[in-house]
Amino acid sequence: MDSAELAAYLAFIVSVFAVMNPMVAIPVYLSVVDGMPKEQRRTIPRKTAFAAFVVMITAFLLGETILWIFSVSIPALRIAGGLLLASMAWSMLQARTSRTRHTSEEMEEASERGSVAIVPLAIPVTAGPGAISLMIIAATYPNPIEGKIAIMLAVMLVCIVLWGFLAMADRVQTLLGTTGMNVVTRIMGLIMLAVAMEFLAGGLSEKFPAWVRDGSEVEASTEDPRPE
């Protein structure tokens, strides 16, 4: 793996971490497990991480098939995914949880469920629409088998980190406090916004190539024609 591939791989890991954002899952986890027996509560982080991994990998492996079934073009998905991620990132920059992750109604229903590891913690809090869009878009890139394995290992790494964050949720919240968690959430939101802009730029340039061509022609025509 050369330096360019390593940089792209690390950027993907950061993107997955920002989109899944275990820090957002911590307050949701603490609220839905409040009052649960200690033994039952201990198993939820592992189940949540595993369920999120399965959802993400399924979206990655079936991404192109999903696009074919619904007749959705890759540029259109990148534009839609970029807009969705931008909406979520804007909420994170304000230290708020986007309603695309979960709503108050879902929280109320979750408190009445016997198991909350899959809904809402795995879906939609961590492996939600934004994360699924990211994996489907990743599936559309021409990756060799080594690249696909690397992407799946990156998702596994982030899910292991998610497991650790949820398992130590009480200590993380005590250590960072509300202010510290909000700062981390804003940083993740900024990274997610940058990822969203990359998706939007790529999707728009592919969907409307004339815009890019016309823009480059205008730029060229405004250059000073006089010789140096």
Residue with tokens 């599936």: 139
Q: Residue 181 phi/psi, 5° resolution?
A: -65, -35
Distance CA 154, CA 150 (A): 6
**Strand, helix or coil for residue 156:** helix
Distance CA 63, CA 130 (A): 14
Please say whether the beta carbons of 107 and 32 come within 8 A: yes
The pair of three-digit structure tokens given for residue 217, joined into one six-digit string = 């022609």
pLDDT at 103: 59
The pair of three-digit structure tokens given for residue 194, joined into one six-digit string = 């940058």
Rank 46-60, 65-79, 134-148 by mean pLDDT and report only the highest.
46-60
Name the amino acid, one letter, at 200.
Answer: L
Q: Residue 136 phi/psi, 5° resolution?
A: -65, -40
Distance CA 41, CA 171 (A): 15
pLDDT at 152: 93
pLDDT at 218: 46
What's the pTM value of the predicted model, to 2 decimals?
0.81
Structure-model confidence comparison of residues 95 and 76, the more confident one = 76
pLDDT digits (tens, 9 = 90+) for 168-217: 999 998 998 888 888 888 888 898 889 889 889 988 988 888 776 655 55
Percentage of the chain surpassing pLDDT 90?
Answer: 24
- Alpha carbon of 112 to those of 39, 97, 117, 193: distances in Å? 18, 21, 13, 34
Radius of gyration of the chain (CA): 20
Q: Does the pLDDT at position 224 exceed 70?
A: no
The pair of three-digit structure tokens given for residue 139, joined into one six-digit string = 């599936």
pLDDT at 91: 86
Give 89's pLDDT tier (boundaries 50, 70, 90).
Answer: confident
